[in-house]
């Protein structure tokens, strides 16, 4: 194993040096002027902590429950497409890193690895399957049905990509996915490698409605609705059968200038937090960000780009190190905040 950076920030810097312009743009960019991309990070940074002293923090406990299951900590890998653009280890590498750290792994519909390959790949961890509903519903129905058979525990329905956001550096570069790169979900659709990133996302159905969630929720797996920014939409999600929601703006990649997730989270927790699990993603870069999210009522916290940087820099080992560093930072932050049990985190730890 090569030398890995000692700090989380070092992974991003190293990955930016290593990646070709096209894949780097795909991973790093946000939509439009990248206001939301930036503000996601800033909104967590802006929150101020009011730590408690002398409460005895020699034993820390990061455990929680998510979708009714006990979990060693609140982290989950965010769904991300085309992980082989980062490293040949691809999805299997991140899934094994997730398994080594007790982290649920989310396989994207637009992964380079099939459900079968993942299930057979020796990554013994909770697996979630991210669903993009295609115009060709037969493809989606088959993937959803197969997910239960392959041991996936939940579906993550992405609701904020009816059309793809304008990622300006992607457009400028006109990068095309390698023609020989496998995208199992697109096989048979005359789509996939050899086309631009935006074109590969155009198979998604812009006509998706709440009634479609109901159909999905009638199936065997719980459905987590990802991409909710308003309390009334969180309520709709419950009314149409969702088991959980992820407060998310797709990492700032869709509609620019939407509110950052740290700001969207509290009103949604107020509306539905007593009824279903509320998760959050977007701009999570440090243990303090995770601590703040949980203090504001998030039960799970999805991590995206930092894991791609880890995968880029060191494959499975790099992604694992990023997860370990985040968990170490969360543990240290709980100690310093005087709230040694994650499940005891309360909003009063925030000063504003
Ligand atoms: C796909 O979901 C993307 O954001 O590129």
Is residue 202's pLDDT more than 80?
A: yes
Identify the band that residue 123 occupies on the pLDDT scale cut at 50, 70 and 90: confident
What pLDDT score does 208 carry? 98
* Span 279-337, pLDDT tens digits: 999 999 999 999 999 999 999 999 999 999 999 999 999 999 999 999 999 999 999 99
Mean pLDDT of the chain: 97
Angstrom distance (rounded) from CA 113 to CA 82 = 9
Centroid of ligand 1 to alpha carbon of 351 (angstroms):
35
Q: What is the pTM of this model?
A: 0.98
Is residue 1's pLDDT more than 60?
A: no
Phi, psi dihedrals of residue 49, rounded to the nearest 5°? -95, 145
Centroid of ligand 1 to alpha carbon of 198 (angstroms):
9
* Span 57-95, pLDDT tens digits: 999 999 999 999 999 999 999 999 999 999 999 999 999
320: Cβ below 6 Å to ligand 1?
no
What pLDDT score does 193 carry? 77
Which residues is 279 bridged to in the sheet? 246, 300
Phi, psi dihedrals of residue 169, rounded to the nearest 5°? -70, -30
Lowest mean pLDDT, pick from 48-52, 188-192, 224-228, 316-320: 188-192
What pLDDT score does 223 carry? 98
Identify the band that residue 194 occupies on the pLDDT scale cut at 50, 70 and 90: confident
Mean pLDDT of 103-129: 96
- Answer yes or no: 236 catalytic: no
Identify the band that residue 270 occupies on the pLDDT scale cut at 50, 70 and 90: very high
What pLDDT score does 2 carry? 63
The burial class, CB within 10 Å (0-12 / 13-18 / 19+), for 17 is exposed
250: Cβ below 6 Å to ligand 1?
yes
Close Cβ partners of 112 (under 8 Å, ≥ 6 residues apart) = 82, 83, 84, 90, 91, 181, 182, 183, 184
* Span 145-164, pLDDT tens digits: 999 999 999 999 999 999 99
Centroid of ligand 1 to alpha carbon of 251 (angstroms):
9
Cα–chain-centroid distance for residue 105? Answer: 9
167: Cβ below 6 Å to ligand 1?
no
């Amino acid at each position: 194993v090569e030398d890995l950076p000692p700090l989380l920030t070092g992974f991003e810097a190293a990955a930016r040096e290593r990646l070709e312009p096209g894949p780097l743009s795909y991973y790093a960019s946000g939509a439009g002027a990248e206001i939301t991309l930036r503000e996601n990070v800033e909104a967590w940074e802006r929150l101020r902590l009011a730590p408690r002293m002398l409460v005895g923090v020699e034993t820390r406990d990061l455990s929680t429950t998510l979708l009714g299951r006990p979990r060693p900590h609140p982290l989950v890998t965010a769904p991300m497409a085309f992980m082989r653009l980062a490293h040949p280890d691809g999805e299997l590498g991140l899934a094994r890193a997730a398994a080594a750290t007790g982290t649920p792994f989310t396989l994207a519909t637009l992964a380079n690895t099939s459900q079968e390959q993942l299930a057979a790949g020796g990554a013994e961890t909770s697996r979630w399957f991210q669903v993009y509903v295609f115009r060709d519903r037969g493809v989606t129905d088959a993937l959803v049905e197969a997910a239960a058979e392959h041991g996936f525990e939940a579906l993550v329905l992405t609701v904020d990509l009816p059309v793809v956001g304008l990622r300006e550096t992607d457009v400028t570069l006109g990068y095309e996915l390698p023609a020989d790169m496998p995208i199992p979900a697109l096989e048979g659709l005359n789509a996939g490698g050899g086309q631009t990133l935006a074109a590969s996302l155009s198979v998604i159905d812009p006509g998706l409605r709440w009634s479609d969630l109901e159909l999905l929720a009638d199936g065997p797996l719980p459905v987590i609705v990802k991409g909710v920014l308003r309390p009334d939409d969180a309520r709709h999600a419950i009314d149409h059968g969702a088991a959980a929601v992820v407060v998310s703006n797709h990492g700032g990649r869709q509609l620019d200038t939407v509110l950052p997730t740290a700001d969207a989270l509290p009103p949604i927790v107020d509306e539905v937090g007593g009824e279903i699990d509320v998760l959050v993603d977007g701009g999570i870069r440090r243990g303090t960000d995770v601590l703040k999210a949980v203090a504001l009522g998030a039960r799970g916290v999805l991590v995206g780009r930092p894991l791609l940087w880890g995968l880029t820099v060191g494959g499975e080992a790099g992604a694992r190190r990023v997860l370990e560093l985040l968990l170490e930072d969360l543990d240290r932050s709980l100690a310093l905040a005087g709230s040694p049990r994650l499940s005891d985190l309360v909003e009063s730890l925030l000063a504003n």
